[in-house]
Structure 1
Amino acid sequence: MGRGMKRPSAHDIKRRCTSLHSWEIPKQNGALAPAHVWTNKDMDPTPPEHQNWGSWTIIAYWATDVLNLTTWQTASAILAVGLSWREAIPIMFLGNFVVAIPIVLNGAIGSRLHVPFSVIATSSFGYYLRYFAIVSRAILAMFWLGIQGANGAQCITIMLRAWAPSYNDIPNQLPASAGLTTQGFISYFLFWIIQLPLLLIHPTKLKPLFWIKLVAAPTSALALLGWSVHKAGGGGEIFTQKATVSGSEYAYLWLSSMSAVTGTWSTLSVNMPDFTRYARSPNGQFIQLPAMPILFTLCGVIGIVTTSAAHVFTPGEYLWNPLDIISQWLDYGSGGRAAAFFAALAWYLAQVGTNITANSVSAANDLTVLFPRWVNIRRGCFIAAVVAGWVLVPWKILSSAETLLAFLGGYAVFLGPLAGIMTADFWLVKKQKVDIPALYNPDGRYRYVGGCNWRAAVAFIVPVAPLLPGLGLSISGPEAVHINEGLANLYTFNWMFGFVTSIFLYVVLSYAFPAKETLLAETVWDLDQIAVEAYPRASDVEEGSDGKSKSSDGVNDMKVKELS
């Protein structure tokens, strides 16, 4: 130390290390935001070296997302309302095809601009109104992160029972108010703690996990299908059943079931750019349009056949949860226990994969934009895991909070308009021309009026308002909420109504009252007001003599011009 300088005391060092300042993420050099706005590299456009997701990666992504316990059981909800497999299969396909359209359209924004949903939202909602969309999405993601974990804890229970059969004899020491047993708590804790390091994998390094699940989950599903059909001597009786409703009731049940399917993926219709920002090609992500409904429907069909066959040798209720069927293998000696262990492990990976792709990364991106000074994607994943896993007590939600589950299921009421506004803004109003640095600037061209694009606010409120009575009815039931039949029927296709209506309103308002400062001739990439047709992609980047990626002129062969 220099002469006259006082050595810091242990108390000073401890105070500095425990202060909030010590948790700050260093502001990145070269960030697009103004000097007074704090950002970090996870908010910035994805650099070319990390744009490594091709079409097969996108397919693997959806395979990891779609193959989970919820998808397997989707058909049960359709059959439970009075429809049959003849309706369930086209409903699953058409519902997923419908929601795949905005997933692809909004996903294309990420594959072209390489920024996450929470940054893109600035263009359509305004710098400050976007926080409403971001917070809404983050809260929902954390709720489902916890609920999927609580559902997946049964995988751990089966694995432990297969490894040590005495695990099932653990006495319960918890009161009924806890919402789960001692055995259930141990299984849940193990699910959470083993899942945690997987949640912390950065999205740029997720591809190996996709491929592992792509092998493990289908193998387990097909093995379960084959065993059930073989043991039953056929596919069972479910394929002889017919719909028990007809007329207008049949039509509205068809629509409501399809709306439930679209609602399952309505979150990704908003934040798909969180993943497509890593795409190698701007068009490679279009593979989602056929892949998503095909994969979902295949998984649903396997679930129907397996459940129907299993009903032959498990009389009583249909077992729609594959883990209930797998648990029967525990009674077949050591060979059955080994099969049950590895099958449950495959479904564990399926649940974790879905949690990562549909919930954890999404919540982390949102938290990164909400708190860029302290949170990056990895920290966001950890925060989301803690909040979702313990603060929200998801096991109690599953055991007692039917109204909350109904609300989460009806959240598509809000997500439909959010997806519609983003789609309309990028494709129909901005014509794919965006000022990327302005997305990070609270005083830039996307400030609108006080940081709020009133056109987006109107296009959101108008379609949501008439759907709220139906949401209240689904949460509280007809005994508590009385609404006319028209509003109840409108709610049966809430997501589609909100999505289409918001597009129409936003486009009309934007053309009638244009925000001229936001309409550009070309996309603006950097702070020097250079307009380019696309951001450099990984395929455009050459490898230099030092082994590092570089491009010859920063934009390669793209058209470049300086804005006046």
Structure 2
Amino acid sequence: MKFPRPHLRVAQSQSAFADGKSRWTNLDLDPVPRAGRLWGPLSFVSYWISDAFNAATWQFASSIIAVGLSWRESIAVVALSFFIISFVIAANGAVGAIYHIPFPVIARASWGFWGSYIAIISRSILAIFWFAIQNVNGANAVKAMIGAIWPSFLTMRNAIPEDQGIETNTMIAYLVFFIVQFPFLCIHPNKARWLFIAKSVIVPAAWIAILVWAFVAEGSGPIFEQKPTASGSQYSWVFLASMTSVLGNYATLSVNQSDFSRYSRVSPKWQLLYIPLLPIIFTFISFIGIVASSAGWSRYNTPTIPWDPIVLISHWSSRAARFFAAFSFALASLGVNISANSISAANDLMALLPEFVNLRRGQIICALLSWALVPWKILESAGNFLNFMSAYAIFLGPIAAIMLWDFWLIKKRKYDTLALYQPSMPTYRFDSGGLLLNWRAVVAFLVGVGPSLPGLIHSVNEEIDVGVGIHPYQFGWLLGFVGTSLVYVALSMLFPCVECLVERAVYADEVYEERERVVDGVELGFEGDVARVQEGSGKEKGLV
């Protein structure tokens, strides 16, 4: 039996999108053909349930309580934040469902080919960070699982210096989780949806059982009687900062939902399901976190609220209960790492190096890079966790705004799919010569991010006093989204890019069909494909 020889370069598509243009696409970056669109309503619902049930969502409200708000304000922050971001996720996700292209390609329509790298690199950094953080959450869960079977594992002698922020047994668990997770990084999204379906059944059942335990054990505990410790202007800033942290958690999916919606076989209108679905699901999970943390605080008389669920279940006397509860958190971390992080990072890395990176290689590279981020230090405290969430939200809010308004308002939902892969065509060159960059998007992005930079600097080094400059950073996602929206729309209307405003949309199916068309018994070459599609060969289909 002969095995194919490994090659440094990845396989290139033979479609009109990639012929002779390997610098800008490969087989995995090309639009998803009809045969590859396997995601239906069940896939999307299970995807979001799977994505929501993870340790970070559990920790949202309980960590907000830890920094000064009551349970009521914490629940309100989570519900309001996801209500806001659900509109952005649905709007940007619809683009992928319509054109079946991923986020890095969609970004070219508003940023230009080279300009899109600003959005791509910003998104990829956060996706890799989140992958690393979920690895730590998964490692802690695996540590609890092993400890339930082998109790002495939890008291193993630590051979790692204390200043490294991780112990030997946790590092072993990290390695175990990493090794178990690795094969899932090689699974295509069309097959990974079965993982999401399985997780959307197993993990909710386990967490609802924990909720029942919390009410039975302590009647939900004393947190429901606790008053907020923040007051006055501090209360307002803590509220806004907490909103930014929650928004930051799903800021990646507000821009890259198309990485999954591109596999949709149903109407783009299904993306509207996110608007009622996301606030309900995420708020419910955060409520479970509050009730369980409160019950644990009361029942086990811990000095602080056990906002980390693994810390909570470590107090349980039943080893079987600890094992299965920890398993649910390990599965939660694994699932969300695939659904929200590794595939997103892989698409970004593909866009940067399409000749050498495909979807599988991109996920593996993401996993390897995550080791360099020492994510266990980010999760040392509730304050650090929230600071990290706030940090990158200030970059992704403006990116999400540019993409949303570009498609729905400026371009009036009309993109030329072929031109998004061909920089030689004038459509998305933005009159920038060889720069291939939309200066309107860059200016709007800088305006949206700029006010939050002093606060970001202070969060990195608290010795740098920025005075009131810290406040814009505390609601950086909202400020960046609104500010960038206003500037980008204004610049695009005052200085319109006429070439970008196509008369009718050009869909991927038209290009694929044109490629297969035979005229006088001879298949069209690439130049013929472009000409026929641009002449409007899809008009007979009633496409707009």
TM-score, normalising length from structure 1?
Answer: 0.85
Q: Tell me how far apart the structure 1 counterparts of residues 56 and 46 of structure 2 sit (CA, whole Å).
A: 18
Does residue 321 (structure 1) correspond to residue 308 (structure 2)? The answer is yes
Q: Tell me how far apart the structure 2 counterparts of residues 157 and 417 of structure 1 sit (CA, whole Å).
A: 39
Partner of 1:541: none
Decide whether the 8 Å contact of 1:55 with 1:284 is kept in 2: yes
Decide whether the 8 Å contact of 1:118 with 1:365 is kept in 2: yes
Distance 1:46 1:309, change over 3 A: same
Partner of 1:258: 243
CA displacement at 1:351 relative to structure 2: 0.6
Partner of 2:488: 506
Match of 2:196 among 198, 210, 213: 210
CA displacement at 1:302 relative to structure 2: 0.9
Q: Deviations over 1:373-417 (max 9, x none)?
A: 1211111111111111x23343355469x9898356311111111
Aligned 1:156-555 pairs, distance under 5 A:
156-232=142-218, 234-280=219-265, 281-315=267-301, 316-329=303-316, 331=317, 336-388=318-370, 390-398=371-379, 406=387, 409-444=390-425, 445-448=427-430, 449=432, 450-477=435-462, 479-483=463-467, 485=468, 487-525=469-507
Q: Tell me how far apart the structure 2 counterparts of residues 299 and 239 of structure 1 sit (CA, whole Å).
A: 16
Q: Tell me how far apart the structure 2 counterparts of residues 527 and 212 of structure 1 sit (CA, whole Å).
A: 32
Output the amino acid matched with 1:299.
I
Structure with max Cα Rg: 1
Decide whether the 8 Å contact of 2:394 with 2:477 is kept in 1: yes
CA displacement at 1:260 relative to structure 2: 1.7
Q: For structure 1, which runs of at least 5 residues remain unmatched after alignment?
A: 1-15, 533-553
CA displacement at 1:244 relative to structure 2: 3.2
Q: Tell me how far apart the structure 2 counterparts of residues 384 and 148 of structure 1 sit (CA, whole Å).
A: 13
Q: Tell me how far apart the structure 2 counterparts of residues 148 and 304 of structure 1 sit (CA, whole Å).
A: 20
Decide whether the 8 Å contact of 1:116 with 1:273 is kept in 2: yes
Match of 1:141 among 119, 127, 144: 127
CA displacement at 1:91 relative to structure 2: 1.3
Q: Deviations over 1:219-276 (max 9, x none)?
A: 22122222232222x1211111222344433333222222221111111111111111
Distance 1:60 1:557, change over 3 A: farther
Other structure's SS at 2:328 match: helix
Q: Deviations over 1:72-125 (max 9, x none)?
A: 111123212322112111111001111111111111111111100001000000
Q: For structure 2, which runs of at least 5 residues remain unmatched after alignment?
A: 515-536
Output the amino acid matched with 1:481.
D
Distance 1:195 1:395, change over 3 A: same
Q: Over aligned residues, Cα RMSD in angstroms?
A: 2.6
Other structure's SS at 2:251 match: coil
Decide whether the 8 Å contact of 1:433 with 1:520 is kept in 2: yes
Decide whether the 8 Å contact of 1:121 with 1:130 is kept in 2: yes
CA displacement at 1:531 relative to structure 2: 12
CA displacement at 1:312 relative to structure 2: 1.9
The percentage of counterpart residues that share the same residue type is: 44
Q: Tell me how far apart the structure 1 counterparts of residues 512 and 171 of structure 2 sit (CA, whole Å).
A: 56
CA displacement at 1:346 relative to structure 2: 1.0
Output the amino acid matched with 1:235.
S
Q: How many residue pairs were aligned?
A: 512
My pick for the range that moved more, 58-67 or 297-306, is: 58-67
Q: Tell me how far apart the structure 2 counterparts of residues 453 and 489 of structure 1 sit (CA, whole Å).
A: 30
Other structure's SS at 2:72 match: helix
Q: Tell me how far apart the structure 1 counterparts of residues 499 and 343 of structure 2 sit (CA, whole Å).
A: 33
Q: Deviations over 1:43-89 (max 9, x none)?
A: 01111122222233222111111111111111123212322112111
Distance 1:408 1:302, change over 3 A: closer
Q: Deviations over 1:186-208 (max 9, x none)?
A: 11100100011122211111221
Q: Tell me how far apart the structure 1 counterparts of residues 459 and 164 of structure 2 sit (CA, whole Å).
A: 26
Output the amino acid matched with 1:248.
S
TM-score, normalising length from structure 2?
Answer: 0.88
Other structure's SS at 1:206 match: helix
My pick for the range that moved more, 405-414 or 468-477, is: 405-414
Q: Tell me how far apart the structure 1 counterparts of residues 474 and 373 of structure 2 sit (CA, whole Å).
A: 29
Decide whether the 8 Å contact of 2:245 with 2:389 is kept in 1: no
Q: Tell me how far apart the structure 1 counterparts of residues 446 and 440 of structure 2 sit (CA, whole Å).
A: 10
Other structure's SS at 1:328 match: coil
Decide whether the 8 Å contact of 2:59 with 2:286 is kept in 1: yes
Distance 1:184 1:91, change over 3 A: same
Decide whether the 8 Å contact of 1:37 with 1:441 is kept in 2: no
Decide whether the 8 Å contact of 2:137 with 2:330 is kept in 1: no
Structure 1 stretches of at least 4 aligned residues deviating more than 4 Å after TM superposition: 396-400, 402-405, 526-532, 554-557
